[in-house]
Amino acid sequence: MIIIGEKINGSIPSVAEAIANRDAEFIKDRARKQAEANATFIDCCASVPEEQEVETLKWMIDCIQEVTDLPISVDSPSADVLAQAYKFCKRPGLFNSVSGEGDKIDKIFPIMAQEENKDWQVIALLSDDSGIPKNAADRLRVFDKIMAKAKEYGIPEKFVAKLNIAQDADLDEYFKSARQELADAGFELSEAPAQGGGIPNSGDDIAKLINKGTEDIVKHQNK
């Protein structure tokens, strides 16, 4: 299971204040605590005007790397910023993020395709120039376009085939099978909470669950 620590984000008021004051100890403390809580990656998001973002991310990444060897999730809505800021990382990390919007993929995927960057990973958001799809089928169409781009640039696919879900698939069985494959590959998996009714087969119901989860994450992140 991948856990991304997202407590070093300039959209959080206390972090924004630390960034403005260049309070390195505050950033280091948050990085240290997330590492101790078994994060897989430490997310680093400046949330400042783009003309200040590369310099700010360099300072933040340097602070984080002083206290932990965990890889960094370099987080920015700008592909141009990501293309510069990843170079400050001492080890391969995570581009956060690309999507089907604009030319983000065509700026980040060529970097990932370079031999020296082959261990970098990326978060791909299932949105495109028309926005966030409202149903699961349209999200999967965006996913297919993103994966076609990955293949075009020679980026290896991992667990990609498992995400092509048939419309009439039994999702209970599908996710049980996918979970076992991940466990066999060495991922540490937690037990899901007991809930009645199984997994909903409706694309709209799944989208609602995803949206609810996103809301919960945002509420927790802003604490």
Mapped onto helix, strand or coil, the DSSP state of residue 4 is strand
Instruction: Between 198 and 186, name the one with better pLDDT.
Output: 186
CA distance 147 to 124: 9
Whole-model pTM above 0.85? no
Which H, E and C letters describe 101-119, residue by residue? Answer: CCCHHHHHHHHHHCHHHCC
Instruction: Between 107 and 198, name the one with better pLDDT.
Output: 107
Mean pLDDT score, 146-164: 71
Mean pLDDT score, 22-37: 98
pLDDT at 6 over 80: yes
Q: What angle do CA 2, 170, 183 make, to 5 degrees?
A: 30
Model pLDDT, residue 223: 55
47: left (phi over 0), alpha (psi -120 to 50) or beta: left
Mean pLDDT score, 34-48: 97
Provide the mean pLDDT of the chain.
Answer: 83
Ordered structural domains, the chain, with CATH: 4-161 (3.20.20.20), 165-223 (no CATH)
CA distances, 214 to each of 14, 34, 207, 211 (Å): 21, 20, 11, 5
Instruction: Between 173 and 9, name the one with better pLDDT.
Output: 9
Mean pLDDT score, 48-75: 98
Q: Which of 41-45, 137-141, 173-177 has the lowest mean pLDDT?
A: 173-177
CA distance 92 to 206: 32
Model pLDDT, residue 72: 98
pLDDT at 44 over 80: yes
pLDDT at 218 over 60: no
Name residue 45's beta-bridge partners: 9, 75
Confidence of residue 163 (pLDDT cuts 50, 70, 90): very low
Q: What is the pLDDT of residues 111-135, one digit of tens each?
A: 999 999 999 999 999 999 999 998 8
Mapped onto helix, strand or coil, the DSSP state of residue 45 is strand
CA distance 52 to 62: 16
Tokens of 94: 């995570």
CA distance 7 to 103: 28
Evaluate whether 105 touches 146 at the Cβ level (below 8 Å). Answer: yes
Model pLDDT, residue 140: 87
Q: Which of 26-30, 63-67, 177-181, 193-197 has the lowest mean pLDDT?
A: 193-197
